[in-house]
Amino acid sequence: MGDDDGAVVNDPASDSSDSDPLALAATEIDSTIPLGEPGEAVESLRELVVYLIENLVEDPEQVSVIADQRGSVVQVQVRLPEAELGRVIGRGGRIAKAIRTALMIAGSRHHLRVSLDIES
């Protein structure tokens, strides 16, 4: 048998993070996180809630969304008419839970915890 018997040899010179799929994935994920200013993160979270809620209710003009940041926690308050609560909360709280999950994911991109209060 010769030196070329089909064995794979790892060459340290060619072993860079460019060939490591996990390193590439981590780089891609990290490069897509818009950190920006803290106020921008809070405003983008507020706009996400506005978009979701206004597409659920019949009269978007009656919806008020306020976001306030204290440290690494963002408190989002949604006020809407009592007649619209059922549409936003959903059966068994499913819609409200989905909105909270979306906020949790969006907040984590900015290293923030987000809480959502829905009231009439």
- Mean per-residue pLDDT for 28-52? 74
pLDDT single digits (tens) 75-114: 999 999 999 999 999 999 999 999 999 999 999 999 999 9
pTM as predicted: 0.68
Q: What angle (nearest 5°) sits at the alpha carbon of residue 49, between those of residues 47 and 51?
A: 70
Domains and CATH numbers, the chain: 37-119 (3.30.300.20)
Residue indicated by tokens 């976001």 = 67
